[in-house]
Amino acid sequence: MKATDVAGTALANTMRSKLRTFLTVVAIVIGAFTLTLTTGLGAGINKYVDNVVEGFGKPGELTVMKQQDMSSAGAASGSPQEYTEQDAAGGEMFGMPLLTQEDLAAIEDTEHVTEVKTYRVAEPEYIQGPDDRKWQTGFMGSSGEIDMLTFSAGRAPEAGAAEIVMPESWVEDLGAGDAEDLVGTELTVVAATPLQEHKSVTATVVGVTKAAASGAGTAPTPSESLEQAIYDITTEGLPESQRNTYFQATAIVEDPEANEDAVKQALADQGLLAQTLEEQLGVIRGIIDAVTWVLTGFALIALLAASFGIINTLLMAVQERTREIGLMKALGMTGGKIFGLFTMEAVVIGLLGSLVGIGLGVAVGLIANQVLTTGPLSGVTGLVLFAVNPLALLLILLLIVAIAFIAGTLPALRAARKDPIEALRHE
Amino acid sequence: MSTAVPIPAVAEVPPGAEPVLETENLVKVYGRGASRFDALKGITLQIQRGESLAVVGKSGSGKSTLMHLLALLDQPSAGVVAMDGRPVSQLKAAEISQLRNERFGFVFQQFFLNPNQTVLENTVLPLKIAGVGRAQRTRRGMAVLERLELADKAKNKATDLSGGQKQRVCIARALVNNPTVLFADEPTGNLDSATSAAVEDILFGLHRDEGITLVVVTHDDDLAAKCDRRVELQDGVVIADERVGTERDGARA
């Protein structure tokens, strides 16, 4: 029998007991659907992470932070830690120790480091618009992000001037008709000293920023000198060592492929943690992948259950068609071809189930992505919950067909081994 | 019955004939120990090309077992089946399958038609198994249906036919690969007498007009009488082998 005839006959045979085939296919559809959704979710979130870091990741950039030794991080749960002047010197932000001038000097002095960019986060109390209304300002963008901003109006703030750029979402509340209107407005930025004394700085709005998935442009971003002015207020009266601190720094490494590891090692010796962007994202990716794998595990269990459905269906078919199998063997069909006929039937069921399941999964994933990202989750800029990865879909298809084939081998072997005489006598 | 098994005289071989199938001391045993059953106890037989042979005997005489061994559907416990002078019992399963597919045609008492398929699809099953392309299958299938006056039923489902028509489809299926030997196992067992006669006419017409070798297993004496030669089995041995119409008696038990 020709391969095309085997396939055609197998397809026709699956249609002989439509309800039974349908029910078996449904079980596979559920598995395929779940697999499609979970892999799509993983791909989507990873794509979102990619969007977030777009523009950040120039090769050779190392993000440097103060190393957080586990003894100080774990102090809450364990035995008391001995106090040292040095630990407390830099202060901390979000529970992370800050970089001191000393640390910066160490980074700059490290061999192969060509440039160091610093980031600090200014924390004013509020910003007052021209109509004297006050708006809470939890966070500001870092002046180090300025070159990542995109503008819907105006321009980037200049380092030496007391300038600020505002996100689009502030335009209306500050009493401006549109983005262009806001440019040129004078704002009062008010910050508190460590003794909670409010002091203000006046800043000119020079631009309006578009929100990017990376988070840049979603908060007011000051120029370098404005940032310094606010920072001076919030650290007023503190010891000098705590005033000139930074949240993190970026070290640019020359010829990163050759020198990156050496720089990392040198910084680690200084008690500084240097990470490439890939390493930082590795953690997030690891978590997403773990979640995806757990969900994928459930889908695989569903497919395992479905494979028993295939075995059951085909065993019934073999039993029903005993005489037909006997006739085909009597007429010269080899056991191998009979085996092929029944495994092909399993493959047809697997193909049907996976095509429908994958189709449904993609449709539901895309619709849910659209509904959620424009609806309840619209606040998360650039969020992608579901992405279509054709290669992954192809792999799912192949996996399910392979599972179906393996499930089909047991009934197919039974059919192939039938004795034609016995089979023809079968009632 | 005498205690010694009589050795029947073998029917005279027509001059110039060559055996298409022959067996030598064919033995078939089912089961073992207390449940051991000797279905065939040493059958030596030659079937000439173009011959029509009736294998007759009571139930349990071994006639069906003999046919299964001749048709290479089963392996003998001992002895040899040879086709065209070449022993075939020891061939590989795939080679035996191919021999059956290319050289034999089968007509069964039960029709074994696939109810989901059309008459034409049922007819061309041996060609499909042989790997013949669709176009040629249809052409050869239609040709044989034409010969059996079933061409107008080609597109009908096999279940829509009468008993006689079904058996004609089976004959068509048996003939579609132009077999050397046509095996018929109780071909009229499920048919009324009028239909039986029609089916018999077809079978013997093929034998007469096309020289096809016909091996018929039956307990119907009328059908057996239409064959050139009649081999009677009892308890796994040949008790009569006579050429009908030659007036020559075989030895009787």
Task: Enumerate the domain spans of chain A.
Answer: 3-53+282-425, 61-276
Nearest to B200 by CA among B166, B178, B226, B237: B226
pLDDT at site B253? 35
Give the tokens for residue A150.
Answer: 């995109």
Give the gyration radius of chain A's Cα atoms.
33
> For the segment B9-68, what is each residue's pLDDT rounded down to a tens digit?
555 555 556 788 999 999 999 888 888 888 899 899 999 988 999 999 888 888 889 999
Which range is least confidently modeled, A372-386, B78-92, B153-167?
A372-386
Is B97's CB within 8 Å of A327's CB? no
Percent above pLDDT 90 for chain B: 36
* Mean of pLDDT over chain A: 84
ipTM metric: 0.86
CA atoms within 13 A on the CB side of A88: 7
Is B94's CB within 8 Å of A334's CB? yes
pLDDT at site A57? 55
Give all strands (DSSP E) within A9-60, no chain letters: none
A422 touches chain B (CB under 8 A): no
A26 touches chain B (CB under 8 A): no
pLDDT at site B108? 87
Give the tokens for residue B212.
Answer: 């096809």
Give the tokens for residue A135.
Answer: 């708006």
Above 90 in pLDDT, residue A406?
Answer: yes
Q: Which residues contact B4 (CB under 8 A, 6 or more apart)?
A: none
Please tell me whether residue B4 adopts helix, strand or coil conformation.
Answer: coil
Contacts of A421 in chain B (CB under 8 A): 68, 73-74
Residue A283 identity: V
A2 touches chain B (CB under 8 A): yes
Percent above pLDDT 70 for chain A: 91
Given a contact cutoff of 8 angstroms between Cβ atoms, the answer to whether A365 and A310 are in contact is: no
Nearest to A246 by CA among A113, A157, A143: A143
A86 vs B76 pLDDT, higher one: B76
Given a contact cutoff of 8 angstroms between Cβ atoms, the answer to whether B119 and B171 are in contact is: no
Distance, CA of B184 to CA of B200 (rounded, Å): 11
A367 touches chain B (CB under 8 A): no
CATH number given to B19-243:
3.40.50.300
> Chain B residue with minimal CA distance to A321?
B114
B85 CA to centre of own chain: 19
Which range is least confidently modeled, A273-277, A346-350, A356-360, A397-401?
A273-277
Residue A403 identity: I
pTM of the predicted structure, to 2 decimals: 0.71
Residue A424 identity: L
Residue A399 identity: L
Give exposure, B72-111, as e/b (b: 16+ Cβ within 10 Å): bbbebeebebbbeeeeebeeeeeebbbbbbebbbbbbbbb
> Chain A residue with minimal CA distance to B98?
A332
Is A329's CB within 8 Å of B97's CB? yes
pLDDT at site A86? 58
Above 60 in pLDDT, residue A271?
Answer: yes
Residue B193 burial class via C-beta count within 10 angstroms: exposed 0-12, middle 13-18, buried 19 and up: exposed
Distance, CA of A312 to CA of A303 (rounded, Å): 14
Distance, CA of A363 to CA of A366 (rounded, Å): 5
Is B126's CB within 8 Å of A16's CB? no
Identify the residue among B30, B65, B125 best suited for mutation to test binding to A, counting A beta carbons within 10 A and taking the highest: B125
A48 vs A405 pLDDT, higher one: A405
Is B102's CB within 8 Å of A332's CB? yes
Q: What phi and psi, each to the nearest 5 degrees, are found at residue A39?
A: -70, -35
Nearest to B11 by CA among B64, B40, B39, B53: B53
pLDDT grade for A133, boundaries at 50, 70 and 90: confident
> Chain B residue with minimal CA distance to A417?
B93
Identify the residue among A324, A331, A418 best suited for mutation to test binding to B, counting B beta carbons within 10 A and taking the highest: A331
Which range is least confidently modeled, A112-121, A161-170, A195-204, B242-251?
B242-251
Q: Which residues contact B107 (CB under 8 A, 6 or more apart)?
A: B167, B170, B171, B174, B182, B183, B184, B185, B187, B203
Point out the residue among A329, A332, A420 whose CB comes nearest to the CB of B126.
A332
Please tell me whether residue A336 adopts helix, strand or coil conformation.
Answer: helix
Average pLDDT over residues B171-180: 91
> Chain A residue with minimal CA distance to B134?
A5
Is A1's CB within 8 Å of B126's CB? no
Given a contact cutoff of 8 angstroms between Cβ atoms, the answer to whether B94 and B100 are in contact is: no
Distance, CA of B40 to CA of B235 (rounded, Å): 7
Contacts of A345 in chain B (CB under 8 A): none
Above 50 in pLDDT, residue A304?
Answer: yes
Is A334's CB within 8 Å of B133's CB? no
pLDDT at site A58? 63
The strand pairing partners of A175, in sequence order, are none
Give the angle subtended at the CA of B179 by the CAs of B173 and B183, to the nearest 5°: 75
Given a contact cutoff of 8 angstroms between Cβ atoms, the answer to whether A87 and A293 are in contact is: no
Could you tell me the sign of the dihedral formed by the alpha carbons of B69, B74, B75, B77, in that order? Answer: negative
Above 90 in pLDDT, residue A49?
Answer: no
pLDDT at site B247? 42
Above 60 in pLDDT, residue A71?
Answer: no
A199 touches chain B (CB under 8 A): no
* Mean of pLDDT over chain B: 85
The Cβ of residue A258 has, within 10 Å, a number of other Cβ atoms equal to 10
pLDDT grade for A252, boundaries at 50, 70 and 90: confident
pLDDT at site A315? 94
Is B129's CB within 8 Å of A420's CB? no
Nearest to A160 by CA among A108, A222, A232: A222
Contacts of B68 in chain A (CB under 8 A): 421
Given a contact cutoff of 8 angstroms between Cβ atoms, the answer to whether B89 and B81 are in contact is: yes
A16 touches chain B (CB under 8 A): yes
Above 90 in pLDDT, residue A402?
Answer: yes
Give the tokens for residue B140.
Answer: 């050869």
Residue A312 burial class via C-beta count within 10 angstroms: exposed 0-12, middle 13-18, buried 19 and up: middle
Contacts of B70 in chain A (CB under 8 A): none
Is B101's CB within 8 Å of A332's CB? yes
pLDDT at site A148? 77
> For the segment A360-381, what is each residue's pLDDT rounded down to a tens digit?
999 999 999 888 888 777 766 6
Distance, CA of B96 to CA of B103 (rounded, Å): 10
